[in-house]
Chain A
Amino acid sequence: MTRPTADTLLRVLAPLLGGLALGIVLQATDSRARLYTAASPGLVAAVAGLLATVVVAVVGLARRRAAAAAVAAAATAGEAAVRQVAEEAARDRLRFFMRLDHELKNPLTAIRAGLANIEQAGGLVLASAGTAAALASVSMQADRIARLVSDLRKLADLETQQIETAPVDLTGLLDEVAEAVAEIPAARERIIRVTVPRAPWPLPLVEGDRDLLFIAVQNLVANAIKFSAPGDTVEVRASEDGNALLLEVADTGAGIPADEIGQVWQELARGRAARSLPGTGIGLALVRVIVVRHGGQVAIRSRVGQGTVVSIRLPVPDRARIAPDVAGLRQDRDTPGMAAV
């Protein structure tokens, strides 16, 4: 039910988006027509901005359609049917992102080439200050759309792509994250604490893709810094919890209003507080996908005015659960079949 709607929408919008993009390029690059000065710089920038907005709107619409379908199914059928519809909707969304990404790549390539052309042509064009500013603006907007598109693509890729599984030492990874986020200017005005247990044994290793886990944790800490104020505290806490490793990123920032907390894991979710800040709104969705692909879970707790805690729970494979020299003893005791050996 959702497919025809999303597809039709894309079919209708793709040429429009392409057309808008081409419009910008043609308007900006046809030197014989000397249009750079004729085209209002404000208009060109506005069209590019519009492009970005349309993408966001289309994606939001696709998501709402999928949710509506799930609700409709829930009203008429059992739990299994609901799950089936939800999975189908997720696949639809994935296909939709891939096609959106695909449809936008060529116009974006053309826009970038057009801009490079103008830049290369040099002096004459850039002589007027207004034109230079307009070009810079178009270039920035094109980059913004490119980033948005590639972020959505990244999500789609991660949901399907095979991920590497190798033992990952989170202790070392957290040190690296701490180093990486220290380079964010606002980090200097936050109190950042990383707590990792080292006694009586270090954190167990988890199985997975180190690069992806790095992105997940880095995103959470960067978010905590972004949504807090100078003087606030950001804590990164790791602990062992049964068969899992628990990682929490907590901040004493503004917190998330109750009516927004349900949506934070969705792609392009941007809370009211985030609207004034840069970003594509893909961070937490990316974190969720990465953690889920590692067999883990994510959760978020928040109180407005007090702060937010995001937690990640990752499964720990049996053999890595406790320190290696203890593992032998434990195995003898816990595995009756092995005890006699």
Chain B
Amino acid sequence: MGGPDVRPVVILADDDEAITSNLAPFLDRAGFTVHVASDGETALELVERLDPDGCVLDVLMPGPDGREVLRRLRRAGRWLPVVLLTQVGESAERAIALDEGADDYLNKPFDPYELLARLRAVLRRARPGRRPLSASPTLRPGDLRMDRISRRAWLRDTELVLTPKAMLLLDYLLTHPDELMTRDRLLEVLWGFDFPVGTRAVDNRIAELRRALGDDPARPEWITTVPGQGYRFVARVDDAR
């Protein structure tokens, strides 16, 4: 991205014209220069030709689908931020989305303002020419080490014993450091859908993580509580060399 007055260029790839014809002007008005692709092949060509700042990919498209486009981009060493538009709510699906190196994902039907927020966040976090945290197999915030492929984590030499959901939450927090995560967003990460009331479910998992990390909520080293809003992972995250 250039200076603050330069409009970021993004590719919006979705085969449903009803979606692109509504989302493109919305993103345009929000300050992006949008190029629309209606299939995976076109999306890859546009990335090649325009070297955009970011990409929004629908998972279900004719030709190479969103995941395949993402895989090809990453294989070619293109580390531009990618937001996947997913269809399915299953946690396995979400884990895969992040494993494959998407910077973030949203379940359809999403709130367009949420897409805007996610897109801005991934662009802000982008490290030009470098692999995004979300595409790194191993992350090392301080004394913590996470092997994202085997889904195991160690604090110094001790392996953390975590429930699968707490591990998923840790993974999401580590790949989105220093970002305010609302309880609703974390609920969606954990469950793929909004709960009747149980935002407490998020608090419980955060408590589990804090216990495992030995983090004192009053003087947090890893996860801070943002009163009335959510949580933020505050430790500096590096990927393994």
- Residues of chain A touching chain B, judged by Cβ–Cβ distance below 8 Å, are 18, 21-22, 25, 29, 102, 105-114, 116-117, 120-121, 146, 150, 153-154, 157, 161, 164, 166, 176, 180-181, 183, 210-211, 214-215, 218-219, 222, 283
- Find out whether the CB atom of B26 lies under 8 angstroms from the CB atom of A219: no
Q: Can you name 20 A-B pairs with beta carbons within 8 Å?
A: A107-B18, A109-B16, A109-B110, A110-B19, A112-B112, A113-B19, A120-B26, A120-B29, A121-B29, A150-B193, A154-B193, A157-B90, A164-B165, A176-B200, A211-B190, A211-B204, A214-B200, A215-B195, A218-B196, A222-B197
Q: Which residues of A contact B25 (CB under 8 A)?
A: 117
Q: Which residues of A contact B192 (CB under 8 A)?
A: 157
Tell me which residues from 7 to 60 in chain B have a Cβ below 8 Å from any Cβ of chain A: 16, 18-19, 22-23, 25-26, 29-30
Report if A161-B91 is in contact (Cβ < 8 Å); known contacts: A113-B22, A166-B163: yes
- Find out whether the CB atom of A150 lies under 8 angstroms from the CB atom of B194: yes
Q: Which residues of B contact A105 (CB under 8 A)?
A: 87, 108-109
- Find out whether the CB atom of A106 lies under 8 angstroms from the CB atom of B89: no
Inter-chain contact count A-B, CB under 8 Å?
A: 98
> How extensive is the interface on chain B, given as a class?
35 or more
The closest CB in chain B to the CB of A113 belongs to B22
- Find out whether the CB atom of B16 lies under 8 angstroms from the CB atom of A106: yes
- Find out whether the CB atom of B204 lies under 8 angstroms from the CB atom of A210: yes
- Find out whether the CB atom of A106 lies under 8 angstroms from the CB atom of B18: yes
The closest CB in chain A to the CB of B191 belongs to A211
The closest CB in chain B to the CB of A22 belongs to B18
- Find out whether the CB atom of A215 lies under 8 angstroms from the CB atom of B196: yes
The closest CB in chain A to the CB of B15 belongs to A106
- Residues of chain B touching chain A, judged by Cβ–Cβ distance below 8 Å, are 16, 18-19, 22-23, 25-26, 29-30, 85, 87, 89-91, 108-113, 163-165, 190-198, 200-201, 204
- Find out whether the CB atom of A102 lies under 8 angstroms from the CB atom of B18: no
- Find out whether the CB atom of A114 lies under 8 angstroms from the CB atom of B196: no
Q: Which residues of A contact B91 (CB under 8 A)?
A: 161
- Find out whether the CB atom of A108 lies under 8 angstroms from the CB atom of B201: no
Partner of B90, one of A21, A161, A176, A222: A161
Q: How far, in angstroms, from A183 to B195 measured CA to CA in the complex?
A: 15
The closest CB in chain A to the CB of B187 belongs to A211
Partner of A153, one of B18, B89, B110: B89
- Find out whether the CB atom of B197 lies under 8 angstroms from the CB atom of A113: no
Q: How far, in angstroms, from A111 to B18 measured CA to CA in the complex?
A: 8
Most chain A CB neighbours (cut-off 10 Å) among B30, B91, B111: B111
Q: How far, in angstroms, from A167 to B95 measured CA to CA in the complex?
A: 24
- Find out whether the CB atom of B19 lies under 8 angstroms from the CB atom of A109: yes
The closest CB in chain A to the CB of B204 belongs to A210
Q: Which residues of A contact B195 (CB under 8 A)?
A: 211, 215
- Find out whether the CB atom of A102 lies under 8 angstroms from the CB atom of B197: no
Q: How far, in angstroms, from A21 to B91 measured CA to CA in the complex?
A: 28
Q: Which residues of B contact A117 (CB under 8 A)?
A: 22, 25-26, 29
Q: How far, in angstroms, from A259 to B18 measured CA to CA in the complex?
A: 44
Most chain A CB neighbours (cut-off 10 Å) among B22, B30, B191: B22
Chain B nearest Cβ from A16, distance in angstroms: 15
- Find out whether the CB atom of B112 lies under 8 angstroms from the CB atom of A180: no
Q: How far, in angstroms, from A1 to B163 measured CA to CA in the complex?
A: 42
The closest CB in chain A to the CB of B27 belongs to A113
Q: Which residues of B contact A25 (CB under 8 A)?
A: 18, 22
Q: Which residues of B contact A22 (CB under 8 A)?
A: 18
- Find out whether the CB atom of B108 lies under 8 angstroms from the CB atom of A113: no
Chain B nearest Cβ from A46, distance in angstroms: 20
Q: Which residues of B contact A102 (CB under 8 A)?
A: 87
Q: How far, in angstroms, from A105 to B110 measured CA to CA in the complex?
A: 9
- Find out whether the CB atom of B18 lies under 8 angstroms from the CB atom of A211: no
The closest CB in chain B to the CB of A150 belongs to B193
Q: How far, in angstroms, from A213 to B153 measured CA to CA in the complex?
A: 28
> Besides A106-B18, A157-B89, A219-B196, 17 other CB < 8 A contacts?
A25-B18, A29-B22, A105-B87, A105-B109, A106-B16, A106-B109, A110-B19, A113-B23, A116-B113, A146-B109, A150-B194, A164-B164, A180-B198, A210-B201, A211-B190, A211-B198, A218-B198
